[in-house]
Structure 1
Amino acid sequence: MTDQSPPLDGDGPDGATDTAETVTVTVRTDDGTRRLTAPVGAVLRDVLRDAGISPYTRYTERLNCGGRGICATCGVRIREGETEPDHWHDRLADRFGYPRLSCQYRLTRDVTVEIPEKRVWGGRE
């Protein structure tokens, strides 16, 4: 998983853009926008953390469930490219307007995410 500038047409081998095996994760933070490249099927939480972007607060960075989908502290807002929730917590979060769990979000397409301000576990929309 690496930072990259926006892909350009003809950037890949033979002048084609290689998107079959990787996805682009655009992350909007208070510090600006970063684009990350990750393999299809990677867990969003892991991609963020590998890039030095934490979905947690300073307290929940240490006090979390380790990606098991039970503490709800790694929530992110999916702004573009969202897929249907397949984890019970994500289905409830989607229904009631709470952030999606980055530890349960598998990347299957390009997405744009925002890390919400975390009052407790992330406020509603």
Structure 2
Amino acid sequence: MARAGNQQAKELLAERARVLGGAVALLRDLLNPDEVVVGGQAFTEYPEAMEQVEAAFTAGSVLAPRDIRVTVFGNRVQEAGAGIVSLSGLYADPLGALRRSGALDARLQDTAPEALA
């Protein structure tokens, strides 16, 4: 609607962008990350709002200026996040994941001393 020229929609998105920029500034001041990356449909479907996000971010942060990047995942950021969550158990304990799947037990049986004789 905002892209079609609806002024009320433009104003609403601009306000939300300013609030989001301020919130990101607070998080940045609290956590001081190496990079600030935002994602989701708020940025992929209406990139015009990034100007307000960046302005509020810069005004709201007490730290030195830093660029905000938009994720390279585009509007598929939720899918990427779900994939990362599903792999977290594997990354946290690779041998445990193999053990739970039964794959490690099969490999250990193949290397048992009686199997090598």
TM-score clears 0.5: no
Between Structure 1 and Structure 2, the one with more helix by share is: 2
Larger radius of gyration between Structure 1 and Structure 2: 2
| TM-score in terms of structure 1 length | 0.23
**Structure with more contact order per residue of length (Cα contacts < 8 Å, sep ≥ 6):** 1
Between Structure 1 and Structure 2, the one with more strand by share is: 1
